[in-house]
Amino acid sequence: MNTEDVQGDEPFALMPYPPASVAHAEQGPLAGLSFAVKDLFDVAGYPTSGGNPTLLAMSGIKRTTAPTVQRLLDAGARMIGKAQTNEMAFSMSGKNAHFGTPRNGAAPQRIPGGSSSGSASAVSNGLCDFALGTDTGGSVRTPASYCGLYGLRPSHGRISLEGCQPLCASMDTCGFFAREPEVFQRVAECLLGEDSAPLTESPALSSAVLMEMLPAASRAALVPALAHIERACSGIEAFSDAWPSLEEAYWAFRYIQGREAWQAQGETILRHGLVLGPDVGARFIWGRQVSDEQLAEATAFRARFRDAVDAMLGDRVLVMPTVADIAPRLDAEDEEIETARTIAHHLLGIAVLCGLPQVNLPLAEKDGAPLGISLLAGRGRDLALVRLAARIGASVEG
């Protein structure tokens, strides 16, 4: 699908800002590719809304461009605009109470996932070749799974977040989406640089007992994807180690994220009387109430959990579900969407708490909608992980 095809059928992926001239290099490793930027990143000539109309009014036109965006421009990529985001990046539904819901290009009757909703929508609807997003608790991986895209959450700190609105400093990461494995790898090579701890050329792949957390229909839907990966990588061994409690990990994630989110944005919310969507407002209120004791216990658990997962993972690559199911329908009740978010965070939180890179591969579907499967590796192995994902994707397409 090209841009002309969707102009008469607006996907609401991009913010309706007046177009601004954003220069890019005529040559470079990303020449010929176009991209969108999640509206958390500053771009000279544009405001930055963070998904909230009051923040948009306060923003003004930015005079500087976030270094990560500039790196893409300098590599020859052309920016088409700024993509919608869930409000203040504190939601995973893709629905924004102020600006609406971007269309899921792979499953239009279903939510796109968030908070990088517009970025995933822009790529899945063919508006651009790739898009920048952020992933704190799953905000790249979830929409990548829901919209049938390749998506990366990098090792924590691997890609610069300078010039990007924060949510949770110890968990925020800059990731991206692409439809094609070759494009996905080209963008990764531009943004990641060389790995500090490369994988072996043929790393051992292990399937996780985490598959057992999925509904039976989702497990069945992932069987062909596992078979594709096994053929491309000459086998997948069983991952038999016992996981630390994922329920405890979920609550540690919630407490740390909630407290840090309030620290990052609470003063702005109170001082300027931000009107927030009900779901986002409830999360900030909850985060404000996290006690020092809860935070200390969660932080201590995170350290233990990280050590345990590092020891289990070693030099292996873990094959695991990205989320538990396909995207809920657009008309789903809020309670259904929140339940899906909670279940997903039990899986998504592993990479978050451990600071590990994770890649979603669009290799499966259920009921006509995408269902992602992921590769997870040790810190600093991001580029090797993306190259492995691209090789698997190319073998499936071939």
Residues 306 and 329 in one domain: yes
Which of the residues 116, 119, 139, 206 is marked catalytic? 139
Host domain of residue 168: 3-192
| Residue 38 a catalytic site member | yes
Residues 48 and 164 in one domain: yes
Helix H or strand E encompassing 346: helix 334-354
What CA–CA distances, in Å, run from 186 to 49, 107, 189, 330, 386?
29, 26, 5, 33, 10
Q: What is the pTM of this model?
A: 0.95
Which of the residues 38, 49, 121, 124 is marked catalytic? 38
Q: What's the alpha-carbon Rg for the chain, to the nearest Å?
A: 19
Q: Structural domain tally of the chain?
A: 2
* Domain closes at, from 140, 167, 192: 192
User: Is it the case that residue 8 has pLDDT exceeding 70?
Assistant: no
Q: What percent of the chain has pLDDT over 70?
A: 96
Which of the residues 34, 49, 91, 115 is marked catalytic? 115
* Interval 162-185 mean pLDDT: 98
What's the pLDDT at 240?
A: 67
| Residue 115 a catalytic site member | yes
**What DSSP assignment string belongs to 123-155?**
HHTTS-SEEEEE-SSSTTHHHHHHHT-EEEEPS
What's the pLDDT at 33?
A: 98
Residues 228 and 304 in one domain: yes
Of 394, 392, 386, 388, which Cα lies nearest the Cα of 186?
386
Does residue 10 lie in a domain region? yes
CATH code of the domain in which 228 resides:
3.90.1300.10
Residues 244 and 168 in one domain: no
Instruction: Give the three-state DSSP class for 359.
Output: strand
Residues 137 and 175 in one domain: yes
Does residue 150 lie in a domain region? yes
What's the pLDDT at 198?
A: 84
Lowest mean pLDDT across 154-158, 235-239, 309-313, 326-330: 235-239
Q: What digits encode the pLDDT tens for the residues 124-139?
A: 999 999 999 999 999 9
What's the pLDDT at 5?
A: 38
Residues 333 and 291 in one domain: yes
| Residue 59 a catalytic site member | no
Does residue 198 lie in a domain region? no
Q: Do β-strands 358-366 and 150-153 pair in parallel, antiparallel, or remain unpaired?
A: antiparallel
Does residue 27 lie in a domain region? yes
Does residue 109 lie in a domain region? yes
* Domain closes at, from 192, 220, 237: 192
* Domain closes at, from 192, 217, 244: 192
Does residue 74 lie in a domain region? yes
170 cis-preceded (ω within 30 degrees of 0) = no
